[in-house]
Each structure stands twice: as structure tokens, then as C-alpha cells.
Amino acid sequence: MSDPCSRRTFLKGVSLLPWAGAAAAALSGTKSRAADESAAASSNVPLTIDGHVHVWKKDPQFPWAAETKNPPDRDATAEQLIELMKSAGVSRTVIIQVIHYRWDNRYAASVLKRYPQYFRGVARVNPEDPAAPDHLSRLTEQDGFHGVRISPSGEASGDWFHGPLMPPLWQRCRDLKVPMTVLAPISRMPDVMRLADQFPDLTIVVDHMADCPLNQPKELEKLLALRRFPKLFVKISHTWTLSAQPYPYLDSQEQVRRLYDAFGPKRLIAGTDWPLVEKFCTYGQAVDIARQRIAFLSPEDRRWICGLTALQVWPFAGLGGTSA
């Protein structure tokens, strides 16, 4: 099956407004962002944007994909997430289309429509479908998504990643000015480099530090080599799945440090991977890893990694940001 990289399989594979309207919107966004930052400051935490969550709901209106043989046994709804965000002091989150639905993005689209004040969304399309670029255009222009995620496995089944259908999809991301998000093992980073060389002005996000095993530090060089692309960002998530230690997973922070030294805080994004992270720690604890528990980060570093960097990739209503 196309794009088959479930979490378990993957880890095994190691609008132009008139001038006045634009000015008013900009002023409103500035005020909203200032209010969020003021509220965060009063609670002694930076403006926090969770760069990586999933949502789903057991509902016949939004059926699981046929390939999903073992669907989740509990819901992870937008409403549940909003309550957790409020408790943890998280202002916004980026919803990544979950693999259980494959290319059916309707539930996430319904969430984006109902709660635009909280969420941005990243869709999935079938990367082996020649019509994938057109599907992405529809998801962007009609359903409000801002970007697409692809997930090639490290095995032969993921070799479509260096096939002829990738350049048209990456070109469409560039045309739409939306980011390309890649979930792939560290062995696929040379493939990311080849595509990044073709589209150097496209915003690219690598998920979960490419899940580079901590006991293979030389392999991380394949991800570090991507620092020469100024519009490539890395999510410093999955410290918990990579770690052999309990919370706050200090053994994985050396890997975060190497990424920090290479990319700097303005190209690193914190994310929780909720609800999957709850197998390891609570949502609030996951948020606080980058916000409080990585000792070498300065307060200014935390402002970027925990919020401001995400705004460069996913502009949020009321907070501004830059387009991809």
C-alpha cells in the first residue's frame, strides 16, 4: 500500500484584502498575538504552539481506511485536545492527518472548520497517485489545510520517494506556498536532500528528528547535512520514543543539542505527537520538555522552539507568521 509508514512500521525500520482591510487584519493579529504572549508571560511560560498532534474520532461519518486493521480503541478528539491545551498553556496546535484515515482528510477538515482559532492542519495525499498535486490543491484551497505530509518507509516499499511522482507534488507545494512535511527514517535523509536541491525555496519540515537512534550518532550526520537549506526545519519530538530513560529523557537531549548547534532555535519546532505520547508521559509533561526541561536552552531559545518557529511555517489566525 502506498505511503504505508505507520508509527509501528516506521520505528521498526529504524487573500488579497483592500489596503484598509489588510491593515485592520494586521493590527488585529498584532493585538491577538500580544495578548497571547502577555498571557503566557503572566504564567511564566513562552507563547506555546504544539507543532505536532493527531486527532481522530470513531464515527461512521469518518470511517477508518480499509487498510486500518487495528483502529484506535479510544477517541482523540479536537475537544479533548483543546481541554489539554488549556491546562498546559498551549495557544495553538498543528494537526497532522493521522494514518488511520489514510488519504481521507474529512475529519481533520471538519476540525479546522470548527476551530480555526486553535488549529492549523497538514493533510495527507497518496504519493503514488499522479493526481496527488491536484488533491493537495483542493485540500488547501477548499478545506483550509496548510501543507502535506508524506511518509516513505526505509524499505523498498518506500522507494517511490525518489520516483517520478515526487517532483510534481513538491512543485505544487511551492506553487501553493505551503510546506512539505516528511516523516522518514534517518536513512531517507539523502533522498530529502536531493529533493531539497531541486526546490531550495520550498519550506520543508522533517518530523521527529528523523527518529535517528541514539546509539547511532554518526547516522545523525545525514540530517545535520540538511542545515544548508535555510527553509528546512526539524521537529525535536520523539525524545521519549528514542530514549532508554524515564522522563524527561535526558539521554536523548544530546541529539537535540547537536540539532540545535547545526540549525539554531529558529529552525527547530517542538511537538508532542499527542495522543501517542501518552504511552510515555502526560500531555503537559511532553509540552514542558522543550519549555522547561532542556537545560541548555535560553529563554529566547524557548520562545522560538516552543512557538515562534512554528509561526514561520504555519501562520495562525490572530498570530500572523510568514507563508511557506
Portion of the chain with pLDDT greater than 70, in percent: 84
Beta strand 180-182 with 232-235: parallel, antiparallel or unpaired? Answer: unpaired
Look at residue 3 in the predicted model and tell me its pLDDT. 54
| Cα–Cα distances in angstroms (integers) from residue 283 to residues 61, 85, 234, 244, 248, in the given order | 28, 8, 20, 19, 13
CA atoms lying within 13 Å on the CB side of residue 40? 24
Give Cα 280 to chain centroid, integer Å.
19
| Distance between CA atoms of residues 228 and 5, nearest Å | 27
Q: What are 24's three cell numbers?
A: 485592520
**Distance from CA of residue 173 to its chain's centroid?**
15
The DSSP H or E segment spanning 283 is helix 283-288
Strand partners, 122: 96
- State the pLDDT at residue 1: 47
Sorting pLDDT into bands at 50, 70 and 90, what band is 43? Answer: very low
pLDDT tens-digit series, residues 222-274: 999 999 999 999 999 999 999 999 999 999 999 999 999 999 999 999 999 99
Average pLDDT over residues 190-206: 98
Q: Please give the pLDDT value at position 322.
A: 65
What is the overall mean pLDDT for the chain? 89
Cβ pair 73, 30 in contact under 8 A: no
Q: Which domains does the chain have, with CATH numbers?
A: 20-313 (3.20.20.140)
**Mean predicted confidence (pLDDT) in 10-24:** 36
Mean pLDDT of 87-108: 98
Tell me whether strands 49-53 and 92-96 are parallel, antiparallel or unpaired: parallel
When pLDDT is averaged across residues 206-233 and rounded to a whole number, the result is: 98
User: What does the block give as the cell for 135?
Assistant: 488533491
Residue type, 117: Q
Contact 17, 25 (CB under 8 A): yes
The two most distant CA atoms of the chain are separated, in Å, by: 56
The pLDDT tens digits of the residues spanning 282-298 come to 999 999 999 999 999 99
The average pLDDT across 22-50 equals 52
> DSSP state, 267?
G
Q: Is the pLDDT of residue 111 over 90?
A: yes
Distance of CA 65 to the CA centre of its chain: 22
Residue-level pLDDT at 317: 76
DSSP string, 1-61: --S---HHHHHHT--PPPHHHHHHHHHHHHHHHHHHHHHHHHTTS---EEEEE--B--BTT
